[in-house]
Chains A and B, each alone.
Chain A
Amino acid sequence: MKNSRNTIVRFVAVLAALALVLSACGSSSKKSNGGSTSSGPTGSVIFGAEQWPSCVNPINQCANSSWLQWLVPIHVLPRLAELDEKNNFVASPLLTELPSIDNGGVSGSGKTYTVTYHLNPAAKWAPDGTPITSEDVKFSWQAVLKTTGSLSTVGYDKISSIETPNPQTAVVHFTETYNDWPDVLGGFSGVILEKAKFPAGPNLGKAMNTAINFSGGPWTLQSFTKDKEVLLANTTYWEKSRIPKIQQVTFVPVTETTKEVQAIKTGQVAAVYPQPATDNVPLLKDSATLKSIFGVTTQYENIWFNNKPGHPFADKNLRAAFSFAFDREQLLTDIVKPFAPNAVLNQCAAWVPAVGPWCENTAFTDIKPDPTKVDSFMAASGYAKDSSGIWAKGGKQLVIKWMVNTGNKRRENAQAEFIPLLAKQGFKVVTDNSDSDTVFQKRLPAGDFDMGMYIQVASPDPTVTAILDTKSIPGPANQGQGQNDTWYSNPAADKLMEASDGEQDKTKRVDLIHQLDKILRQDYVNIPLLVFPSMLSYRTDMLTGPLDQFINNPESNFWNMWAWSKK
């Protein structure tokens, strides 16, 4: 008996000791050095992040998450052009001015297309204090091209060379006219890296996994683990107006909605930036210590028709009829407004009003329920209602498969509400859902759907060639990697896309995009629904400052947290 008890006690002791040893080596927390001793920035705040990137490399696949941009690069790494609160490209503190045709910074066309950047002589890397030079710009370009698994080389692959006549001048030569040059080494995801920190060369596939030990932004990255990210104020930042007022900002993952709500309501975190939804907006109402502010993102959600031959919506008349059968306004009222009270319908096929002048916001205003047009378009394609009131042709009922990703309550609720309504108009629509990975990685690229409800992102540059041009339809010519998943094809639209991509005059380009939008409307390429709302909830007893300045910006509200103060 005694032996048995002793054995159990020993066993428990061994387990406890093992747990202690493992807990010491298992945790991923890093030792803090206490941070800067500057008398400027003060205090420390904690923010919650809805998603957590695997690593911090801004060039390879780690960057395949908006949250990585919001957590690290926008705070730590400099860029050439940046976005203002209206999503226009402006010079970042790294530049003396934004290149333009007027100031001679943008010149030539075709193979002589050149953009000349003048760097701010005051710009310096932290902590070593060395100047940020044109060599860093050139190295960053090479890094994007040569890094194994580089996320996107779009634009970078159109640069033939970068000249560095002096440390403050970088002359970028393109192989062809490239209007989206501000997105190269700038914009939302472009970054400049310190060349001296990478003596092994520009293939950075294995670099910057959990650390970026230099900074050219308002913050320095002290540590990044699976548990948290710690940013410290960069008190040596040359743009004095952007030296943070808070000494330390810590981000922690709060990836579950209930936890996120509890974390902000109990003051565990001072702010969260959740995707607004019916399960969090009502819980995050304004109170004595909590305030939620709303804006719009650059993400727009449409119903996209599959034009691939063999699918019902390859028939333009059917796309037209369905568009006039679907009540967009009702969807907005019943499905969207409960979590985004100020939401309005988007009226552009592939642009949004908050990003540049590209969306005229009028092309789709006439797309509203109209039974007469429905009947007329259906009749034109040879459809007639059968005895059960369903559209049929050649004795066969028309069945439309509506695909959304399972688990997305908003989209599933839309299906539940609208499928019976569409049935009353003779459209037999059935759900055809799959999990997110299957929808976005398999079924969309394979064209395995009739219609899908999903989000696209509007970039400051209005090109939609990659998703709507005939050449981008997946096929042997592009090794099946084209991204025109809806198989939309119209030579007139192709011509406008090509012309717009090569047009340097912004006014003319705006006109071309507006023409393109009208063609897309005439072709009933999709049913535009909404621009996805954004939301920031913060503790009024902990934070103050211009928290809503970048609410409509793809860089998130956290972009200007240098201007926020701790209460």
Chain B
Amino acid sequence: MLRFIVRRMLWAIPVMIAGSFILFVALHLTTDPVKAAIHHNVSTEALIKFKHDLGLDKPLLEQYWIFLTKFFRGDFGTSYTSGAPVWPELRTALANSLVLGFVAALFYVTVGIAIGVVSAIRQYSWFDNAATGLSFFGLAMPPFFFGLVTIVLVGTFYETHFHSSTPLLPFIGGVYSPSTSGFDLVDRMKHLILPALTLSVQEIAIYSRYMRTGMLETLNSDYMRTARAKGISERRVTLRHGFRNALIPLTTFAGIDFGAVAGGLIITESIFGYPGMGLYFLDSLHNADYPALLPWMMIVIASVVLFNLLADLSYAWLDPRIRVD
């Protein structure tokens, strides 16, 4: 087991290097920090000085090598835009995205799995039919559209139809209301509701469909019939044997899904002005800020590798027949 984990972690290093190099080259081909800096008449001399100050006049490979060696020494670099170290801002963005990701995941995994289980147990019932219809509706609902609809619903729609002078839920201010000072758990949670809902609408649909399919396959398998023949109660058969085995295919999807959280939830964060990894990425990309983007990429790759590893390990926990080493 330990050897498996170490081997997988070591594999992450070349993946990170390759990923960051591809990003570096792609950025270099499509953006230019010097030109991104221009918004009015700037002298040629100033631009040349700017390029030199930031080391952009060095050969491309040398620029990348400088970044890479510093990164592996724990120096995440300095932003071209702000001149400030990249890590503090990246750390805050990562934490914010993880909070949103975890809260949303808790919600959509729980609801999605619950719907999937009930749908499978009561196949072709009115609940199953309704869940199936709604899941297609959810799958077809793009987050950017749903996010904006929720803002209108809790905003002018709620005020007009419920004769209120304030919106039902806050939708400005990022993680807190503008008037909040310091840590306020209630306000923080209120600000998570709309982004988490926006993230969840498609995910619930996906998880419920996966779970329903997995449960149906398991419920009709031979070992389930054996378990029932042994006289084990239907509830125990379903939850102990069916549910656990149905989770295995879902685990693969969840591993990839959770891993992507560190990359930020670009659309949702952008709509709600939520200062996470997605917004960080967009801002840095807009400024062609390589030093800010490359560590972002490293974290995303590391996260995807880590969560895939966790998914692999969880197979063993869910199905003792699977041995990871």
Contact = CB atoms under 8 A, between A and B. Distances in A.
A interacts with B: yes
Interface string B217-243: 000000000000000000010011000
A4 B31 CA distance: 52
A1 B176 contact: no
Contacts of B287: 54, 61, 64
Contacts of A463: 41
Interface in A213-252: 225-228, 250, 252
B51 A481 contact: yes
Interface stretch (B151-159, B203-211, B248-256): B151-159
Given A54-B283, A267-B165, A157 B240 contact: no
A157 B83 contact: no
B182 interface: yes
Contacts of B176: 27, 29, 227
Contacts of A253: 174, 273
Interface residues on B, range: 35 or more
B182 to A, nearest CB: 5
Nearest to B167: A266
B21 to A, nearest CB: 20
B54 interface: yes
A269 interface: yes
B99 A44 contact: no
A66 B39 CA distance: 9
Contact of A44 (B78, B171, B179, B180): B179
A55 B106 contact: no
A48, A149, A205, A441: which has the most chain B beta carbons within 10 Å? A149
B283 to A, nearest CB: 6
B35 A445 contact: yes
Contacts of B286: 437
Contacts of A57: 82-83
Interface in B143-164: 148, 151-152, 155-156, 159
Interface stretch (B42-50, B122-130, B295-303): B42-50
Most A Cβ at <10 Å: residue of B30, B35, B165: B35
Most chain B CB inside 10 Å of its own CB: which residue of A23, A253, A255: A23
Given A4-B240, A15-B102, A22-B102, A227 B43 contact: no
Interface stretch (A84-92, A257-265, A400-408): A257-265
Q: How large is the interface on A (under 10, 10 to 19, 20 to 34, 35 or more residues)?
A: 35 or more
A183 to B, nearest CB: 10
Interface in A275-289: none
Contacts of B47: 481
Contacts of B180: 29
Interface in B65-106: 78-84, 92, 94-96, 98-99, 102-103, 106
Contacts of A396: none
B167 to A, nearest CB: 5
Contact of B81 (A18, A23, A61, A437): A61
Given A149-B53, A149-B54, A27 B96 contact: yes
B1 interface: no
Nearest to B96: A26
A179 interface: no
A254 B273 contact: yes
Given A16-B106, A467-B41, A1 B236 contact: yes
Given A54-B81, A254-B273, A259-B151, A1 B42 contact: no
A28 B92 contact: yes
B244 A4 contact: yes
Nearest to B280: A226
B275 A46 contact: no
B275 to A, nearest CB: 4
A479 interface: yes
A259 B98 contact: no
Given A152-B46, A437-B36, A472-B44, A19 B81 contact: no
A466 B288 CA distance: 23
A463 B41 CA distance: 9
A457 interface: yes
A342 to B, nearest CB: 26
Interface in A448-503: 457, 459, 463-467, 472, 478-479, 481-483
A199 to B, nearest CB: 18
B270 interface: yes
Contacts of A481: 34, 44, 47-48, 51
A206 B42 contact: no
B37 interface: yes
Contacts of B51: 481
Contacts of B155: 262-263, 265-266
A556 interface: no
B22 interface: no
A268 interface: yes
A32 interface: yes
Contacts of B174: 28, 226-228, 252-253
Nearest to B43: A154
Contacts of B46: 150, 152-154, 157
B6 interface: no
> In this complex, which of B40, B47, B273, B279 has the most chain A Cβ atoms within 10 angstroms of its Cβ?
B40
A438 B172 CA distance: 31
A367 interface: no
Given A46-B179, A437-B285, 9 more contacts: A149-B53, A150-B50, A152-B46, A205-B53, A228-B174, A263-B155, A268-B167, A438-B30, A483-B41
5 contacts: A19-B106, A62-B82, A149-B80, A258-B151, A478-B48
Interface of B: 30-32, 34-51, 53-54, 78-84, 92, 94-96, 98-99, 102-103, 106, 148, 151-152, 155-156, 159, 165-167, 170-176, 178-183, 185, 188, 236, 239-240, 244, 270-273, 275, 279, 283, 285-288
Return the 5 tightest CB-CB contacts between A and B, nearest first: A26-B95, A32-B181, A226-B275, A227-B174, A55-B82
